[in-house]
Amino acid sequence: MTEKLDIVDRLRVGQSIRAIQRETGVHRTIVRRVRDLATEAGWLSSDRQPPDQGEVARLLATARSTSREATHPLDAFATDISRWLEEGNTFLVIHQLISETYACSEATVRRYIQKHYPQARRLTMVRPTVAGEILEVDFGYLGITYDPQERRNRTTYLFSARCRHSRKAYRERVFRQDQHAFFSGHIHAFEYFGGVPQKVVPDNLKAAVIVASFKDPLVNRAYHELSRHYGFLICPCEPYRPRLKGGVESDVKYVKRNFWPVFREHQRRLGRQIPDGEELVEALRRWSVEVADEHMIHGVGRSPQEIFESEERPALKTLPPQRWDCVVCAQAKVQETWRIQFDSAFYSVPYRHVGRTVQILANATSVRIFFDYHQIAMHRRARRKWEYLQNAEHAPANVAAYLAENDQAILVRARSIGAAVEQLASQILSRTGVDGLRPARALLALKGRYGAQRLQHACERALAFEQAEFRSVKAILAKGLDLEDPRDVIPQTSDGQGLFRFARRPGYFDPSYVEEESYE
């Protein structure tokens, strides 16, 4: 507008168009357009006050709108475009829909929408920061590096913990975004800064927040243990609003755009197409100290290191005397054997929790088991795979007595039922090469279903048929054969010896033997 107002002033004193073009460098076409508008508005009259910038701007805007076409080909789609924009369709989708009936470029559609459907700009408020108040943490993907310990290429991530006030950040290379890397990153960051902030703002990742809800976040129990040990508050980022921790988001981008390309190129010059993961650790540390912490912050005029040393460090809380022992949080379902499986080992829990899902907090030395926020069991950490750690108090009352029962106790119980039961149980227990404890227990358990008398008769029958087996006694009871007298079923000779169907008769090999009777 200053240029247009200068042209009007020159025209008012009678300067020619060529002279104005020569002295100002403005094209004569523009000078003529301004002259015509000034003549129409009466600004060139000597008896009138010269216009101000506002009048010139309004006149030029009116002339510009009237000089253009009154209609645009895309005006025919105005109603549809409004609806498509309300539905959230992109420029590309809207262009495809319009191109079905009217051929135009995507740029034309984009310019038309931006002019006729301007969107209100989102206002941004610069938040004041307080020294030592907030630490933002997050993971970011770097690339593929070679792990010399495992001798393979691995996906590599960056863990960043950035102080919001001073912009100083702790950065660490990790191969996994798991609980161990997340918690270790916190511990290393606190020790790197030499203190603990008041609040930590994590992303809504599983290691930190199980349910991504700003109103009622369900904080991971292990992360809660870490916060209580170091004395900071957990302030989870709202779901789908990463800009609330834009500082650490920007730090991840800063590393990926400024450090990672340079390091990768240096590795290529050394003949490594895949960068070395161990050299990445030292290079990242050196770059953070020499470059990232010393650059001047735009609009502040000081470096992150300078702000941290003068303002942030004195405001941090003192570190606890001992480092926190990393805790692993997990869930498991209690099996029918009143035990859970965790990290390739078994741990017992009270039997009344069978079928329930319990929470596990484990560190390097102990395993704690919780149900409904109450601790129900605690064991030492297993030292080998598939070790079974159990507490006798977790078992039902009868199980301890059951496991403590030996052969002599079985025979005492069998004697109280009957002599035949004791004899049959003794034969089962006396076998060599076979553990008879379980079938002997099962034999005595038949008393609860059939009674002591029937069990006694069934054992007598099994002994008479020389079938001293638990399954034989069980079959006799199931078929009711114990109700029959064995002497009525088994044929006998005159001297009382039993005759069986497939047994040879007495004196079978004696030629002088004469059969007394036939039992066929």
pLDDT 10s digit of each residue in the chain, 520 long? Answer: 677 788 888 888 888 888 888 888 888 888 888 888 888 777 777 777 777 777 777 777 676 655 554 578 888 898 899 888 888 888 888 998 899 888 999 899 998 888 888 876 666 667 788 999 999 998 989 999 999 999 999 999 999 999 999 999 999 999 988 888 889 999 999 999 999 999 998 876 666 665 555 455 556 778 888 999 999 998 876 555 555 556 778 888 889 988 999 999 999 999 999 999 999 999 999 999 999 999 898 888 899 999 999 999 999 999 999 999 888 888 899 998 889 999 999 999 999 999 999 989 888 889 999 998 889 999 999 999 999 998 888 888 766 555 556 788 888 888 989 999 999 999 888 887 777 888 888 888 898 889 999 999 899 888 888 888 899 999 989 988 888 765 555 556 666 666 555 666 666 677 765 555 444 4
Cβ proximity of 28 and 18 under 8 Å: yes
pLDDT score at 356: 93
pLDDT score at 3: 78
pLDDT score at 120: 64
User: Chain-centre distance of CA 438, in angstroms?
Assistant: 46
pLDDT score at 368: 92
Cβ proximity of 163 and 197 under 8 Å: yes
pTM over 0.75: no
DSSP one-letter code for 270:
T
Q: What count of other Cβ atoms lies within 10 Å of the Cβ of residue 312?
A: 25
Reported for 32-39, long-range contacts at CB under 8 A and 24+ positions apart, including other chains, are: 33/63, 34/4, 34/7, 34/8, 35/7, 35/11, 37/63, 38/8, 38/11
pLDDT score at 519: 42
pLDDT score at 270: 92
Q: Find, among 410, 435, 404, 406, the residue nearest to 424 by Cα.
A: 410
Q: Using CA atoms, how far apart are residues 436 and 452, in angstroms rounded to an integer? A: 21
Q: Does residue 117 sit in helix, strand or coil?
A: coil
pLDDT score at 518: 46
